[in-house]
Amino acid sequence: MLIVNETRRIPPLRQLLAAGRNVFTEKPLCGLEGQHRLREADAAIAAPAIAQWRHSNLKLGIDFNYRYLHHFRKLRNDVKEGRLGEVKILRSRAHFNCWSYIIDLILWILGRPLWVSVMGDVTSSGPWSRMIHIQWENGVLGSLDGTNLWGYDDHPLQITVVGAEQYAEARGLDGWYRRRQSNSSELAELWEAEDGQPEMPESFVRMADGVIKSMLADQPFPADGEAAWNELVFEATVYQSAVGDGKQVCLDKVEADAFKVNE
């Protein structure tokens, strides 16, 4: 387990991979200005480590434990199993304390998007508030808003996925999920964690259990190096778009540029 912050994570990660060690670490993979101000430069720094891992037979995992929150797993399962019908729109928001996690959840649920268009002032000090428009290759549209100004009483993160047949929403860290018929108020499912049994503490236990089981079965970690890399590429693309005053920027281009820097 590699326990250093994002400003100095890549050198020891590369040393461990070179020594033939499996690595489990925290998110984001790299952020020289901190985890809420990721840029293309951070992707370029991390790219050689990702290339090194991809060419090894080693395991690289990252602690995206929100994947083990029951309500967000329900949302993903309903999307993947087709209960919502053809997905049309994703809407989401998060406090910056949950920022890397919500990006991972969005990508885990719908896959890596094609492009983003972002409004936000990257020159502001500290975490800069941002409004992100997203499009996937299959035409699905999305939005993600981020700031550190929301209160926790209104849930620090929320994702709604709208399908042709049903729409569903997962919110907060305690555990809440609702699915309704599209263009209707008819309730299809409502799930809430029991009083005194919030989901958040359990997610750490479930993630640890998943990591141990993957090691014993010689399987990839529950959230592997690709998940870590995709979150960083998304963040780098967000930054580039905001610098360009909201221009559409493709994730594949930012990824390609990150690897080119090191050629």
CA dihedral 235, 240, 242, 248 (to 10 degrees): -100
Distance CA 236, CA 98 (A): 17
Q: What CATH architecture does domain 65-198 belong to?
A: 2-Layer Sandwich (3.30)
Distance CA 9, CA 26 (A): 9
Omega within 30 of 0 (cis) for the link into 28: yes
Tens-digit pLDDT profile for the chain (263 aa)?
A: 888 889 999 999 999 999 999 999 999 999 999 888 999 999 999 999 999 999 999 999 999 999 999 999 999 999 999 999 999 999 999 999 999 999 999 999 999 999 999 999 999 988 999 999 999 999 999 999 999 987 777 789 999 999 999 999 999 999 999 999 999 879 999 999 999 999 999 999 999 999 999 999 999 999 999 999 999 999 999 999 999 999 999 999 999 999 998 77
Supply the DSSP string of 54-76, one letter for each residue.
HTSS--EEE--GGGG-HHHHHHH
- Give residue 262's pLDDT: 75
- Give residue 152's pLDDT: 72
Query: Count of CB atoms within 10 A of residue 213's CB?
Result: 11
The runs of H, that is alpha helices, within the chain are 10-18, 40-54, 70-80, 99-110, 199-216, 225-243, 251-260
Domain with CATH 3.30.360.10 in the chain: 65-198
Q: What is the pTM of this model?
A: 0.96
Show the tokens assigned to 207. Answer: 């993630």
- Give residue 167's pLDDT: 97
Beta bridge partners of 91: 143, 160
CB 143 within 8 A of CB 134: yes
